[in-house]
Amino acid sequence: MKTTTETPVGLEESMAPFARVRLLLTAALVTTSIASVPAAFADTAAAPAVVPALQSWTPGGGTLALSDRTRIVVDGRDPAAVSTARTFAADFKAAKHRGIPVITSLGAAHRSDIVLLHDPGRGELGAEGYAMNVGDRVEITGRTAAGIFYGTRTVLQLLATGDRLPTGSTVDVPKYAERGVALCACYTYYPVDWIDRMIKDMAYLKLNYLHLEIKVRSSRFPDINTFSYYTPAEIRGIVALASRYHVDVVPEINSPGHIDPYIQDRPDLQLVDKNGIADPTRLDVTKPAAFSFYTALIDDYLKVFPGQYWHMGADEYMLGSAYANYPQLLAYARAKFGPNATPQDAYIDFINRVDAYVRSKGKTLRIWNDGLTGANTIPLNEDVTVEYWLGESVEPQNLLDAGHTVMNASDAMYYIRGNGAPDVKSLYESGWSPEVFPGQTIASGQSGLSGAEYSIWPDNYGHETENVTQSNLFMPLRVFAQATWGSPRPTSDYAGFVALANAVGHAPGWGPAWIQPIVAGSYVIRGSQGVLTPPATAAGKLTIAWSASTWQLQPTSDGYYRLTANGLCADMSRGTANRLGVIEQEGTPATAETCTGGPTQEWQLEPVHGGVRIVNAITQEALDASGPAGTVVQQPRSVATRATWSIHG
């Protein structure tokens, strides 16, 4: 699309006047509370109330009650099935607040058990489908571990409002192979637990593809380590959780456009226009050093992303400009491909060279479609998967006919943080499907159509906290999951679907939307270097001193706090902004400003060993007492060394 050694008092001790930590689970913006199942959904003759709806349902006319004697039964000789059973058991416990044993002998199954069966011979179930029969016990059969897993998601949804399951049977197979979410953790940082919640909710909705445009902290190229980045350990944790929940993680480093997070300090790699002006957002694809740099980044990423795909973005290379402004591209193309070559051939050539490199690593390349305008003379390699988001002269059917796998990444399914969500009511009631692309609707049933993805972009994230984003995504993801599973809509209108979705709720273990661990009041905030001290006037810096200074902590409706003193609010709005207008730079001093109610004046209190970490709701960096002359600055959680604070009433 950027000097004392006082030990801090622990959080519980710091809140001694309150006797214990109080958890205030704010609901002001949450539209996802568990409601009673509407009467129509409780009818045992009707299809079970799940999202996405089942492909078919043959009712049994009764219900099966699960009890304290219910077990999960699986063949212990099948490691993949056993792993799925253990994940199911953990989620069952999170949902029902009681344990359920896993029995690894199919012969031990009895009434009211949940039996997981792996049958590779059930070809009609495909790679992710399952058969489920509910009688005097539950039997879930999958040809693969993924199929068994999705059957367990159906059971968890059916148990969202009680301990009884409707009797009956289904064969439930997804229509589309890829049902994805694209998260641009670019120019911004979504905490790992936010992404973990996304993964669990995706799996609960039978979504299986997480496309992450994300920066990984590099030891090889330390100059790219400007926040926001994720440590290799954080990435490994995300990938491990996704694997357990049958979500494929696809990494992206966007190139040759939108690559400024990596080359903003590398003018030697930037594309220079005919007036001699270098553009840090564009890689000069004519330079061998540029290709070497990009493939070196790929090598580093593949150490922590073991999946089968690599996404290079490739969108908007000429956004706001034209190839004619960069004559070196035409010269390069004609030197390599002859006098009839066009400047776009240089761009296509770069993609094809990256594709060859990715294939040499055993991966498949994916790109966005908007650079494929047809102005090239050399073809795009056929094996490249194209994610189609913007209507162009080269349409989805053209790409399918040329042999490409195509995913629908329609901008009708875009959530722009700070600018709102798509009109999912209209999308639901119109019956939107992955065949409906921008500018063209294709025939159903074509094997090259892989599915669709819902995209989350940070364009205006300085005006919207991640908690608000998280809340606003609830219904769009459920509408999208319904469309991409491809089953009949469970309700005729959107209002009915909202009621169903609210009844099913979030995934087990998703947790509260947010936690506010301290009640409103007046507090001293103390760190190992002294007391957090406000300035007397606006625009002054927060500092450390040993004088007694108090702050008012005021919980906000979206799960944060405002820190006020002297009529001013602690803020992160001064400094060098990134291209999306946020003060992202590490080491920027925190200030106190006139209170505006803006999101840069909101702060998370994250319990950690010895106290709390105070993290800005927009920059996602922690207050750290490591600045010069006693100033308090922001630092990423992973490198902050003086960011533990105790709160005293």
**Residues 548-602: pLDDT tens digits?**
799 999 999 999 999 999 999 999 999 999 999 999 999 999 999 999 999 999 9
Please name which of 180, 247, 53, 199 lies closest in space to residue 434, comparing C-alpha atoms.
180
At 21, the pLDDT band (50, 70, 90 cuts) reads: very low
Q: What is the pLDDT of residues 530-539, one digit of tens each?
A: 999 999 999 9
Please name which of 261, 205, 277 lies closest in space to residue 500, comparing C-alpha atoms.
205
495 SS3 class: helix
How far apart CA 76 and CA 60 sit, in angstroms, is 30
Q: Which two tokens stand for residue 286?
A: 């004519």
At 1, the pLDDT band (50, 70, 90 cuts) reads: low
Is 2.80.10.50 the CATH classification of the domain at 11-26+514-648? yes
Instruction: Reply yes or no on whether the pLDDT at 276 is more than 60.
Output: yes
Q: CA separation (Å) from 326 to 332, 339, 440? A: 11, 17, 32
54 SS3 class: coil
Instruction: Reply yes or no on whether the pLDDT at 12 is more than 50.
Output: no
Instruction: Reply yes or no on whether the pLDDT at 4 is more than 60.
Output: no
Rg (CA), the chain: 27
Please name which of 524, 620, 643, 632 lies closest in space to residue 570, comparing C-alpha atoms.
632
Least confident of 107-111, 199-203, 283-287: 107-111
Instruction: Reply yes or no on whether the pLDDT at 5 is more than 60.
Output: no
Instruction: Reply yes or no on whether the pLDDT at 35 is more than 70.
Output: no
User: In terms of CATH architecture, what is 178-485?
Assistant: Alpha-Beta Barrel (3.20)
At 13, the pLDDT band (50, 70, 90 cuts) reads: very low
- All CATH 3.30.379.10 domain ranges of the chain, comma separated, are 54-172
- All CATH 2.80.10.50 domain ranges of the chain, comma separated, are 11-26+514-648
560 residue type, one letter: Y
Q: What percentage of the chain exceeds 70 in pLDDT? A: 93
Least confident of 20-24, 243-247, 294-298, 388-392: 20-24
Q: What is the pLDDT of residues 148-183, one digit of tens each?
A: 999 999 999 999 989 999 999 999 999 999 999 999
Q: Which two tokens stand for residue 390?
A: 């913007």
What is the predicted pLDDT for the residue at 17?
Answer: 27
128 is catalytic: no
Q: Is 174 exposed, middle or buried (0-12, 13-18, 19+ CB in 10 A)?
A: buried
What is the predicted pLDDT for the residue at 512?
Answer: 85
What is the predicted pLDDT for the residue at 259?
Answer: 97
Predicted TM-score of the model (pTM): 0.92
19 residue type, one letter: A
- Beta strands per DSSP E along 80-146: 102-103, 114-118, 130-134, 138-142
Q: What percentage of the chain exceeds 90 in pLDDT? A: 90
Q: What is the pLDDT of residues 290-339, one digit of tens each?
A: 999 999 999 999 999 999 999 999 999 999 999 999 999 999 999 999 99
Q: What is the pLDDT of residues 345-361, one digit of tens each?
A: 999 999 999 999 999 99
Q: Which of 139, 316, 435, 464 is catalytic?
A: 316
Residue-averaged pLDDT of the chain: 92
Beta bridge partner(s), residue 523: 551
Question: 54-172 falls under which CATH superfamily?
Answer: Chitobiase/beta-hexosaminidase domain 2-like (3.30.379.10)
At 45, the pLDDT band (50, 70, 90 cuts) reads: low
Residue 16: CB partners within 8 Å, gap ≥ 6? 649
At 87, the pLDDT band (50, 70, 90 cuts) reads: very high
